[in-house]
Structure 1
Amino acid sequence: MTEDARILAVDWGATSVKSALVDADGRALSPLKRRRTPHPCPPDTFFDVVRARVEATGARRVGVGFPGEMREGLVVGTGNLAREGGPGTPLIPELVERWRGRDLSCELSELTGADVRVINDAALAALGCGGGYGVELIVTLGTGCGLALMDGGELQPTPDVGTHPSHDGRSFDVALGERARSRDESRWREDVRRALIQWRVAFGVERVYLAGGNGPRLQDRDETWPPGIVIVGNQAALRGAARLFGARTPSTGVG
């Protein structure tokens, strides 16, 4: 395989950044690298981390999952990157504004000389597990939660539900996030089930994929999930980076 055929996949999460080289089918060509997500994280720090991985691997094509909201390729929401110490800590208003409107694909391509494509992290995971079964919903469960919607295998505009209130008034990021799971896993599982029922009706989906670091945890017990719910591994975003270079993606990618 030529070096040009390799793709660097970078999955930027709220607490860790994962990266690996993959082939055109999303198969790993290198061990998975991890590092802690820096907090607070201004754009320059984000660029430096990605550039370092590009330089270390020599990749000419790079797919990046961004843990915030994007519209028309521009950042409109920073997720947890603009928080003082990561999830659950105060936002830094000045840093929110520094992120707003940035064209990450363009800036990173110019900085690295590689073909860099950046979409929302849940959308990247969706590309890695969506199978083209009509309308599909991909739910990423980790530090918080993210959503992506696919119709016929193509990404569709999806609202950023993480900050929306759940049934008990907590945001979905809080109710379905890692802190809630670590405090009371039984309640967390029930809240996940309740949210899935709500979203299946709201989006009219035929299949739901549960991804992210906590997705596989839902297989740990002898538990029956409703038909049409598929639990996938936590490396869907890395596989999605390969498809990012072989499938048409929409101008809107959120989560």
Structure 2
Amino acid sequence: MAETGHILAIDVGGSHIKCTILNDKGEWQMEYKRVKTPEAPTPGNVLSTIQDLVQGMPEYDKVSVGFPGYVRNGIVYTAPNLGNPNWKDIDLGQRIADMLNKPVRLVNDADQLGLGVVSGKGYELAVTLGTGFGTALLIDGYLLPHLELAHHPFTKEHDYDEYIGNKALEKEGLEKWNKRMERVMEVLKVVFNYDRLYLGGGNADKISFKLDKNVILFTNKDGIKGGAKLWEMEDKYHISTNFPKNKQ
């Protein structure tokens, strides 16, 4: 079968798993398909959900996956928002490649979204505000090593996830959450001295205070275009490819 050049882009989140088809320029070929993340998000249940979700999708040649945890070389080392004990040293990239019979590149979900929205000029930070707090750092469009900043202490009692994640928003209410976000934004500005900061995720549109001129809001629909960026250049992002075992 002739190659289409199309990419299946998957975004695994703490609340939903989404996918779409992109061309090699990151242009959408169809609207999102999405389902709720399993209540018991074990590796087996997440894989089964992805398998069901992609049934009936148009033809694609390769797969990009954004995952909410620390990922290196296709292996998941931590996934606090999906239940850490189940996600230690899980070769998720290889498992998806074998399941879908396509080559797969698996990265942190904020890294994938960041690739899709940054300008590619200068030092840029992408932040996702959803179930947790995701971050991606890039310089001139190149991904820098991923940091799980979400789990760095922000106060004596809370890390970033606990301070401004979805549970904090539900518990504290919108007004107090916005005050916390203002404080976080000031810290990010001082710590990173970025040229531009990109804010996305399900809670980004709940920000009510005025943002600096170099802070840009984006949607997950914008960000998932990063799934095509992962395949632009073979060595640009130093991200390994998992090939299905029967095609190696």
Same fold, judged at TM 0.5 (above): yes
Secondary structure at 2:224's aligned position in 1? helix
1:246 is matched with which residue: 232, 238, 241? 232
Q: Deviations over 1:175-211 (max 9, x none)?
A: 2112322442122122222212212322232111001
Q: Which among 185, 190, 199 is matched to residue 201 of structure 1?
A: 190
Structure 2 residue aligned with 1:56: 56
Question: Hey, what's the Cα distance between the residues in 2 that align with 1:199 and 1:71?
Answer: 25
| Number of aligned residue pairs | 235
Give, in angstroms, the shift of residue 168 of structure 1.
5.7
Per the alignment, in what secondary structure is the counterpart of residue 139 of structure 1?
strand
Q: 1:145-160 residue pairs with structure 2 within 5 A?
A: 145-160=133-148
Match of 1:130 among 105, 118, 121: 118
RMSD between superposed Cα atoms in Å = 2.1
Task: Please say if residues 69 and 76 of structure 1, whose CA atoms lie closer than 8 Å, have aligned partners that are also in contact.
Answer: yes
Give the distance between the partners of 2:99 and 2:18, measured in 1 at CA.
Answer: 20
- SS of 2:151's partner is coil
Q: 1: distance between equivalents of 2:104 and 2:12?
A: 14
Q: Which amino acid aligns with 2:96?
A: L
1:3 Cα deviation from its structure 2 partner: 6.2
Q: Counterpart of 1:5 in 2: which secondary structure?
A: coil
1:227 corresponds in structure 2 to 213
1:1-255 matches, cutoff 5 A: 4-57=4-57, 58-82=59-83, 93=85, 95=86, 99-167=87-155, 169-182=157-170, 183-218=172-207, 221=208, 223-247=209-233, 248-251=236-239
Q: 1:4 to 1:52 in 2, by over 3 A?
A: farther
Shift of 1:55: 4.1
TM-score by length of 2: 0.86
Q: Is the 8 A contact 1:69 1:79 kept in 2?
A: no
- AA matched with 2:78: G
After the TM superposition, list the runs of 4 or more consecutive aligned residues in structure 1 that deviate by more than 4 angstroms: none
Instruction: Tell me the secondary structure at the aligned position of residue 117 of structure 1.
Output: strand
- Letter aligned with residue 206 of structure 2: R
| Partner AA of 2:70 in structure 1 | E
Structure 2 counterpart of 1:180, one-letter code: A
* Letter in structure 2 aligned against 1:181: L
How high is the TM-score relative to the length of structure 1?
Answer: 0.83
Deviation (angstroms), 1:37: 0.3
